[in-house]
Chain A
Amino acid sequence: MEFIIVKFVLVVVVFLVSLGIAAYSTYAERKIAAFLQDRVGPDRAGPFGILQPLADGVKMFMKEEIIPTHADKGLFILGPSIMMMTACMTGVVIPWGNTLIINGTEYPVQITDINIGILYIFGVVSIGVYGIMIGGWASNNKYSLMGAIRASSQMISYELAMGMSIIALVMMTGTLSIGEIVKQQEGMHWNVFVQPLGFILFIVCAFAECNRTPFDLPECETELVGGYHTEYSSMKLGFYLFAEYINMFISSAIIASLYFGGYNFPFIAQLGLPHNILTLLGTLIFFGKVFFFIFFFMWVRWTLPRFRYDQLMHVGWRVMIPLALFNILLTAVIVLWQNGQFN
């Protein structure tokens, strides 16, 4: 019974934290953009504009809801729903912290550590494509359709390279469970030091999967009006935009746990603090890493211009995939060499 209560609390907390961080990412995005462009940014709602996300949310809800007459109504609603659902689903397998000891039993601060954690994430990500495709098609608008097609071909292309960059990591760690991968990176044994190429490939693919600049062609304003969400208004549009920020948060969390040690930090054993305090500290440090990557996402957005479509495909198929294959080969040779197969 206690087990179920702990898990239920964790699910609710992870869900609320994802939503909260996504909401404040919109604020952070505008503030960082303002900072990089030497402006002030939103500063009217509350002190330093801190209530801006609330105001934006209220605005989104208050807007008139329009469903185009020739749209496929059911699918038009299904599109943003799938997008939002898949965005919220991936948080389940991420280890947010080490174990907490409550009444003598140890509870991991992770909702579930299934032995196919990485594959689960890929499965959910590949379903996320449908949100965009269905929404774009159901709008019955040529710009939406073009945006949807661009988005889905981009996501399929980069999913391949992403999967391959992860294979090298899996070969090294010997497990598909994210909790196990994080445990192996105790102290400063972070995977980024042994898999630098894999990390670069993964983060580039993560940018492409989240449709973030420089890969935000699906919503390229100068060519496609609003891209796949041209016809959407009110909170349905809000869901599409919001899902992008949740995806960004989850991607940052995945990058932090796969390559940057998750909740591990150096000298963890030397501190001599109680177990639960250390776990909380680890979780705080994990969130610090996540925030850094969210900042990195935004930093890149306001620094680099957008790719052209043929450049995007060229990078995906002719650069990323061969590099990922090379990385797999290299990792395989090193793993075999370390196991003494060449002696």
Chain B
Amino acid sequence: MLNQNLPFMILATLSVFSALMVVLSRKPVHSVLYLIFCFFTIGGHYLLLNAQFLFAVHIIVYAGAIMVLFLFTLMFINLNKELEPHKTNLVKAAATIVAGTLLLVMVSTVTDTGNILPAQVSQNEVGTVAVLGKKLYGDYVLPFELTSILLLAAMVGAVMIGKKKTES
């Protein structure tokens, strides 16, 4: 049993560690890099659940595309100690209370759920491309298409907002 859980344990430790380092790092660029590492470890969890397609897409989209844009923006902004906005004690106290309450809610939810069953990985085909494609374009075709229209609308909206006004 221990042997079976060993990859999961290593991955879980690494994800928790990197997630903590995202918050604890002093430099914003380091935070982003730890976040990328965290995405990799979460991708590893997908692999353990035999969802290879999800793993590949997760790495390409999140680690490969979105985080590159994050890093890009951070490099341009060039955050450093002198330019760091100074927070008053009131803001710090408010932030602590809000975050603490959120933690409390989450802990209580976890304790209330009772027994969590381990994920069933008995069917080997679940996460592969062929099965996923048939599910998405068969059983879930309407939600899938609606989501893509929503994304398209958001994209057009972003282009409209970002567009330079040539007249006026």
In the complex, what's the smallest C-beta–C-beta distance from B122 to chain A, in angstroms? 19
Q: A119-B60, A137-B75, A176-B129 are in contact. Are A114 and B68 (CB under 8 A)?
A: no
User: In the complex, A156 Cα to B33 Cα: how many Å?
Assistant: 18
The size bracket of the interface on B is 20 to 34
Interface centre among A125, A126, A153 (most CB of B within 10 A): A126
Interface size on A, residues (CB 8 A): 25
Q: Which residues of B contact A134 (CB under 8 A)?
A: 33
User: In the complex, A290 Cα to B69 Cα: how many Å?
Assistant: 33
Q: A119-B57, A120-B56, A134-B33 are in contact. Are A126 and B65 (CB under 8 A)?
A: yes
> Is A152 an interface residue, CB under 8 A from the partner?
yes
Q: A115-B52, A115-B128, A116-B56 are in contact. Are A149 and B72 (CB under 8 A)?
A: yes
> A-B contact count, CB below 8 Å?
63
Q: Which residues of A contact B129 (CB under 8 A)?
A: 115-116, 176
Q: Within A148-206, which residues are at the interface with B (CB < 8 Å)? A: 148-149, 152-153, 156, 159, 176
Contact A127 B59 (CB under 8 A): yes
Q: Which residues of A contact B59 (CB under 8 A)?
A: 123, 126-127
Q: Which of B64, B68, B72 contacts A123 (CB 8 A)?
A: B64
Q: Within A72-90, which residues are at the interface with B (CB < 8 Å)? A: 72, 75
Residue in B closest to A176 when the chains form the complex, CB atoms: B129
> Is A145 an interface residue, CB under 8 A from the partner?
yes
Q: Which residues of B contact A116 (CB under 8 A)?
A: 52-53, 56, 129
> Is A122 an interface residue, CB under 8 A from the partner?
yes
Q: Which residues of B contact A137 (CB under 8 A)?
A: 29, 71, 75
Contact B53 A119 (CB under 8 A): yes
> Is B35 an interface residue, CB under 8 A from the partner?
no
User: In the complex, A90 Cα to B60 Cα: how many Å?
Assistant: 14
Contact A148 B75 (CB under 8 A): yes
Q: Which residues of B contact A159 (CB under 8 A)?
A: 64-65
> Is A321 an interface residue, CB under 8 A from the partner?
no
Q: Which residues of A contact B76 (CB under 8 A)?
A: 149
> Is A28 an interface residue, CB under 8 A from the partner?
no
In the complex, what's the smallest C-beta–C-beta distance from A149 to chain B, in angstroms? 7
Contact B60 A149 (CB under 8 A): no
Interface 0/1 of A104-132, CB less than 8 Å to B: 00000000001110011011011101100
In the complex, what's the smallest C-beta–C-beta distance from B56 to chain A, in angstroms? 4
> Is B63 an interface residue, CB under 8 A from the partner?
yes
> Is B36 an interface residue, CB under 8 A from the partner?
yes
Residue in B closest to A134 when the chains form the complex, CB atoms: B33
Contact B71 A133 (CB under 8 A): yes
Q: Which of A123, A126, A127, A149 contacts B75 (CB 8 A)?
A: A149
In the complex, what's the smallest C-beta–C-beta distance from A234 to chain B, in angstroms? 24
Interface 0/1 of A216-251, CB less than 8 Å to B: 000000000000000000000000000000000000
Q: Within A273-323, which residues are at the interface with B (CB < 8 Å)? A: none
Q: Which residues of B contact A114 (CB under 8 A)?
A: 52
In the complex, what's the smallest C-beta–C-beta distance from A289 to chain B, in angstroms? 27
In the complex, what's the smallest C-beta–C-beta distance from B131 to chain A, in angstroms? 11
Q: Which residues of B contact A153 (CB under 8 A)?
A: 72
Q: Which residues of A contact B30 (CB under 8 A)?
A: 75
In the A-B complex, the 8 residue pairs with the smallest Cβ-Cβ separation, listed nearest first, are A126-B64, A119-B56, A123-B59, A116-B56, A123-B60, A137-B75, A116-B52, A122-B60
A-B contact pairs, 27 of them (CB 8 A): A72-B29, A75-B30, A116-B129, A119-B53, A119-B60, A122-B56, A122-B60, A123-B59, A123-B60, A126-B63, A126-B64, A127-B59, A127-B63, A127-B64, A130-B68, A130-B71, A133-B72, A133-B75, A134-B33, A148-B75, A149-B72, A149-B75, A149-B76, A152-B68, A152-B72, A156-B65, A156-B68
| Further contacts, 5 of them, CB under 8 A, given A115-B52, A145-B75 | A119-B60, A122-B64, A123-B56, A126-B59, A129-B68
Q: Which residues of A contact B (CB under 8 A)?
A: 72, 75, 114-116, 119-120, 122-123, 125-127, 129-130, 133-134, 137, 145, 148-149, 152-153, 156, 159, 176
Q: Which residues of B contact A (CB under 8 A)?
A: 27, 29-30, 33, 36, 52-53, 56-57, 59-60, 63-65, 68-69, 71-72, 75-76, 128-129
